[in-house]
Structure 1
Amino acid sequence: MTAVLVLVFVVALIIGVPVSIAMGGAGMAALVWGGSFSPLLVPQRLFSGIDSFPLMAVPFFILAAELMTGGRITDLLVRFACQLIGNVRGGLGYANVLMAIFMAGISGSALADAAGPGSVIIRMMRQAGYPTAYAAALTASGAIIAPIIPPSIIMIIYALTDNSVSVIGLFLAGIVPGLMLGTSLLFVNWWIAKRRNFTFPLQRPAWGQFLKESWKVFPALLMPVIILGGIHGGVFTPTEASAVAAIYAFFVGRFVIGTLSIAQVPRILVNTALMTSAVLLVVSMASIFAYMLTVLQIPQAVSQYIASLGLSPTMLLIVVSLFLLVCGLFLDTLPAVIILVPILAPLAQNAGIDPLHFAMVVILNLTIGMITPPVGAVLFVITVVAKVPIFTLARAIIPMLAAEFLVFTLIVFVPALTLWLPNFFGYAR
């Protein structure tokens, strides 16, 4: 059965089958081939994979982001970032990164940020005179900040997969690494803008107009504070926080800013349902694949082999990071978390590595994989949005990738960067 599971999965990936379908098909094929399991296990495992109360946070966070986008709050964020720093050399590049940081606290999805506000800022940079490939590369690099700064869909899935960490702990652990990613991209933009002489400044608005725009944006920027503060204060659970976020997004868009109309709500609900279905399909299909891995004792075999190497905690993190880097080239982030975390997390705990630190190493590594070929999902979204060939985009993104890998290396070797906020609020081990 092991050979069938691996063979079907690999062949399906090679011929271009979506990863979720490849995992589900491989798990079903192995289950049926063995003959010792009832076919009824298939629907049972598919359903049990998504039969989780904490998983309800995913559609509500997606809905909150869609309400923000539908209410044109994301447009206000883009304009605010441009007005804030668009008047200096490379200003729109800085605004691009700031917009990515702002949006990260709202959407939690790299793909949503790349396809939505990313398309707006790319168009603005192109019109201002920036090379399209550079604008697209900077946008793609900034989009992956979304799964790192809370709220984050990937962190919710990780917490469901590894019971040794909490959602709020992961949310807090992601703040500093997310801001470090943004800072590294700001530095790259400064270096490239100076080297290529990007002098396309925007006119600074009058102070009255700037303050008016800032007032409109302020309620949107409060969303992460409300989510984290409410969870930490015990006002609501992480799942309930997602519903609060959706209600808050509707209230801000409808009554505070006034840009969200009731006529937009049906379309927003449909978009939310489609995006949620895609996420739940991945989780459901990955659950049957992970179940067959467990039945065949593949995780146990891998764990025993790595444990037999007698690696120090630091060397274990390096080996795991290299392994995840390779996996990230071929697997989407959510399936990789569901499949690999049950194998790797126990190893880290046995080696004395803090679960939150290890979680951030895994999440950051796999998230960076979203902008690395050949299966970088964000790259493919940006190529469609910006109409840039994939090879051109892959070359342009090299400096940004180098900066983000430097941040990742710091996170691996300096656990305090990840753990000091969870420690301060009492969520680290």
Structure 2
Amino acid sequence: MWILIGAFLVLMIIGVPVAVSMAAASILYILVYDVVPDVIVAQRMIAGVESFPLIAVPFFILAGNLMNIAGVTGRIYAFAVALVGWMKGGLAQVNIIGSVVFSGMSGTAIADAAGIGTIEIKAMKDHGYSTEVAVGVTAVSATLGPIIPPSLPFVIYGMMANVSIGALFLGGLIPGAVMTLLMMTTVGVLAYRNNWGSDAAFEWQRLFRAAIEVMVVGLFPLAAYLLILAGLSLNVAVIVALVLLVAADWYFDFDAVMALMTPVILIGGMTLGWFTPTEAAVAAVLWSLFLGLVRYRTMTLRTLAKASMDTIETTAAVLFIVTAASIFAWLLTVSQAAQILSAWIFALTESPWVFLILVNLLLLIVGCFLDTIAAITLFVPILLPIATQFGIDPIHFGLIITLNLMIGLLTPPLGMIIFVLARISKMSVERTTMAILPWLVPLFLALVAITFIPQLTLWLPTAAGMIR
């Protein structure tokens, strides 16, 4: 076990990529101990990606890329300005609301930071905010991406834990709302202390239009319900309601109705049984193509080709990490590491709350060094069986793991959001890191609430009948 873990850590320290470090350490372990034939390495790596839910990975990545090139980010920003730009610290609040909407399309924190973050940082700097403040609020709001559905980490976790991805998606809605409120409250406190003003004039007309857009999206399920009462079947009623919604959006030229509809379509489609979470990823791509090619007409063959190539590169990187982590995690199991850790934890405590505190501490440290996908693939097979023995629901545990690893994206030395925002803001990595650190407070408060109040995560999936 120590050769396996030691080789992995040494390779990581000298700068070898995470996936290569795990694969090399696994091969070294097999060569030294000759525990299995060499061909098992290839078989286990293939088995790690031979999973139907993983088909969702490239489609969710493609959907996020397509939304970025469809001009949706600018419309989301305009909608957020109309909704909260008049508040104190207006553009900081806009930053958060924009990320909430974009989270319903992208599924990843990196896409959020690189997509709408580019617009938000420039706008905040133009309105007199320091670069540090703009980067800090953009970084913390980007963590909403994998919590509010759809979520790429939830797909990976659901595959590894063999739990309902749809239940994970529903479970992320209330925690996402809690995180949003904590972030907005933080901005409000800082705006009061630093005397930040509003960044957009309060106009009833703009606010009313933004509120109308939210109401239009909310009227979609009501219209479907009324059509069912009128005698239409469920499927026909939903299709007719969607056509009416698209027609209304086309006539009134709303800014963000179609973007706001993305999570509604995905969650609603899964709840109604129209499609599985994997098929929901395909639906997200089709919806993105509709917006870019038909509704907004902003996509070209060149931008589509670029989005496709970006998707191929990202998917290859993600799946290579999954394959390497699968063999590494399997060898940890073979070497009895999971059993040793389990025995140590049960000797240390019999309280599930103490166990969750230990898990949080472990994952906060791990998140500083490991990629999110690699960490999920590596630690879920080890920690989830222990969590189950403590009576912790796998859906609840998935939210805890994901939020911890999102915090890891904001912390050195390997936090990817740090590097993305450093490039966008043209600040050094060191300055970017210092700008982000104060904004971790609302994330830690959210982590405490989600950890110790399981119903924040479990209430919606239970109400929807996805878990019992």
Same fold flag (TM > 0.5):
yes
Match of 1:285 among 302, 306, 324: 324
Aligned residue number for residue 62 of structure 2: 63
**What is aligned with 2:256?**
217
Q: State whether residues 79 and 255 of structure 2, in contact with CA within 8 Å, keep that contact through their aligned partners in structure 1.
A: no
The residue that corresponds to 2:187 in the other structure is 189
After TM superposition, list the pairs within 5 Å mapping 1:270-309 onto structure 2.
270-309=309-348
Show the counterpart of 1:347. 386
Which sections of structure 1, spanning at least 5 residues, go unmatched? none
Structure 1 Cα separation of the partners of residues 259 and 133 of structure 2: 28
Query: Residue 74 of structure 1 corresponds to which residue in structure 2?
Result: 73
Equivalent residue, structure 1, for 2:458: 419
Q: Which residue of 2 aligns with 1:199?
A: 197
Q: Secondary structure at the match of 2:105?
A: coil
1:380 to 406, 414, 419: 419
- Kept in 2, the 8 Å contact 1:188–1:399? The answer is no
**Cα distance in structure 1, aligned partners of 2:467 and 2:404:** 21
> d(CA) in 2 for partners of 1:208 and 1:386?
30
Q: Counterpart of 2:99 in structure 1: which amino acid?
A: A
Letter in structure 2 aligned against 1:232? T
Tell me, yes or no, if the aligned pair for 1:129 and 1:200 is still in contact at 8 Å.
Answer: no
**Contact (CA 8 Å) 2:48, 2:326: kept in 1 or not?**
yes
Q: Which of 256, 272, 284 is equivalent to 2:295?
A: 256
Residues 40 and 386 of structure 1: CA distance in aligned 2, closer, same or farther (over 3 Å): same
1:174 deviates by 0.7
Residue 208 of structure 1: CA displacement?
7.4
Q: Matches of 1:416 and 1:388 in 2, distance apart?
A: 40
User: How far off its partner does 1:214 sit?
Assistant: 6.9
Deviations 1:118-169 (A, max 9, x none): 1111011111110001100110111111011100010010011112x21011
Amino acid at match of 2:145: A
Q: Is the Cα contact below 8 Å between 1:9 and 1:23 reproduced in 2?
A: yes
Match of 2:305 in 1: 266
Gaps of 5+ in 2: 211-248
Shift of 1:407: 1.1
- In the other structure, the counterpart of 2:225 is none
SS of the equivalent of 1:311 reads coil
Provide runs of 4+ in structure 1 moved above 4 Å.
203-206, 208-214
5 Å-filtered alignment, 1:56-135, equals: 56-135=55-134
Equivalence for 2:237: none
Name the SS of the counterpart of 2:49 in structure 1: coil
CA apart distance, 1:229: 0.9
Distance 1:388 1:113 in 2: 19
Distance 1:102 1:424 in 2: 24
SS in 2 for 1:222: helix
SS at match of 1:155: helix
Corresponding letter in the other structure for 1:197: N
Judged with a 3 Å threshold, the aligned counterparts in structure 2 of structure 1 residues 336 and 388 are, in CA distance, closer, same or farther, namely same
Deviations 1:331-358 (A, max 9, x none): 2211111111111111111111222112
Q: TM-score, normalised by structure 1?
A: 0.95
Q: Bigger shift: 27-36 or 312-321?
A: 27-36
| Alignment match, 2:368 | 329
Q: Which amino acid aligns with 1:376?
A: G
Q: Secondary structure at the match of 2:256?
A: helix
Aligned to 1:371, what secondary structure does the other structure show? coil
Instruction: Read off the aligned partner of 2:172 and give its amino acid letter.
Output: G
SS of residue paired to 1:234: coil
CA separation in 2, counterparts of 1:273 and 1:207? Answer: 44
Q: Secondary structure at the match of 2:196?
A: coil
Does 242-251 or 195-204 show the bigger shift? Answer: 195-204
Give secondary structure in 1 for the equivalent of 2:172: helix
Per-residue deviation at 1:178?
A: 1.2
* CA separation of 1:345 and 1:214: change in aligned 2, threshold 3 A: farther
In 2, Cα distance between equivalents of 1:311 and 1:134: 43
Letter in 2 for 1:176: I
Instruction: Give per-residue Cα distances to partners, 1:368-388, cap 9 Å, x unaligned.
Output: 111122222211211111122
Distance in 1, Cα, partners of 2:119 & 2:261: 22
Q: Distance in 1 between matches of 2:64 and 2:81?
A: 21
**RMSD of the TM alignment (CA)?**
1.9
Counterparts in 2 of 1:61 and 1:89: CA distance versus 1, 3 Å: same
Q: Partner residue of 1:37?
A: 36
The SS at the match of 2:144 is coil
CA distance in 2, matches of 1:325, 1:149: 20
Q: Give me the whole-angstrom Cα distance separating, in 1, the residues matched to 2:413 and 2:358.
A: 22
Q: 2:76–2:255: 8 Å Cα contact kept in structure 1?
A: no
> Percent identity of the aligned residues?
40
One-letter identity of the residue aligned with 1:185:
M
CA 1:36–1:310 in 2, change beyond 3 Å: closer, same or farther? closer
* Counterpart contact for 1:161–1:342, Cα < 8 Å: yes
Cα pair 1:324 1:362 within 8 Å, conserved:
yes
Contact 2:87/2:93 (<8 A) preserved: no
Whole-Å separation in 1 of the counterparts to 2:304 and 2:158: 31
Of 357, 375, 399, the residue aligned with 2:396 is 357
